[in-house]
Amino acid sequence: MTALYAVVCIAILLVMAIALARAFYAPTVYDRILGVNMFGTKTVLFIAVVGYLMGRPDFLDIAIVYALINFIGMVAVLRFFEYTAPVD
């Protein structure tokens, strides 16, 4: 099972890297937010799988906090757009 967890970890890292690239080079500002949001969701999964890979799965609390903060950050960004319209 450990080898499988390692493979899953590497694959999720790859997805995170792609989402990061999207956040670096985004055609529109919304794409950047999309990249950040996707990065956050994949991070939650990554933490969960890494816990099993290291043999101490009792640290899932951190994954919950990530999911939470990711959502709140998203809402804050949308609220920011209410004040400053992104269209030039």
Partner 1 sequence: MSDFIDLVLLAMLALTGLRIIFLKDLFAVVMLFGIYSFLTALIFINLDAVDVAFTEAAVGAGISSVLMLGTLALTGREEKESSHSSILPLIVVFITGAALIYGTLDMEPFGNPDNPIHKHVAPRYIEDSPKEIGLPNMVTSVLASYRGFDTLGEVVVVFAALIAVLSLLGVPKEGQEKAPASGLKSHQVLRVVAKLIISPIILFALYVQFHGDFGPGGGFQAGVIAAAALILYALVFGLPNAVAVIGPRFLKFMAAAGVLLYASVGFFSMYKGGNFLDYNKLAADPVAGQHYGILIIELGVGITVFAVMLNIYYAFGNQVERSNIQ
Partner 2 sequence: MLLLLDIISGILLVTGVFFGLSGAVGVFKLPNFFTRVHAASVTDSIAVILIVSGLVLQTPLGINIAKLLFILVFLLITSPTASHALAKSARHGGLLTMSELEKGDQEEKAPK
Partner 3 sequence: MNFILDHYNYWIVVFLMMTGFYIVITANNLVKKIVGLNVFQTSVFILYISEAKVSGGTAPIVTEGATLYSNPLPHVLILTAIVVGVAVTAVGLALIVRIKRAYGTVEENEFKKMDDAI
Separation CA 42–CA 85 (nearest Å): 29
Residues 5-64 touching partner 1, rule: CB under 8 A, are 6, 9-10, 13, 16-17, 20, 23-24, 26, 29, 32-33, 36, 39-40, 43, 46-47, 50, 53-54, 58-59, 61-62, 64
The DSSP secondary-structure symbol of 58 reads G
Stretch that binds partner 3, among 11-19, 38-46, 52-60, 74-82 (CB under 8 A): 52-60
Transcribe 35-53 into DSSP letters.
Answer: HHHHHHHHHHHHHHHHHHH
Q: By the criterion CB under 8 A, which residues form the site for partner 3?
A: 54, 56, 58-59
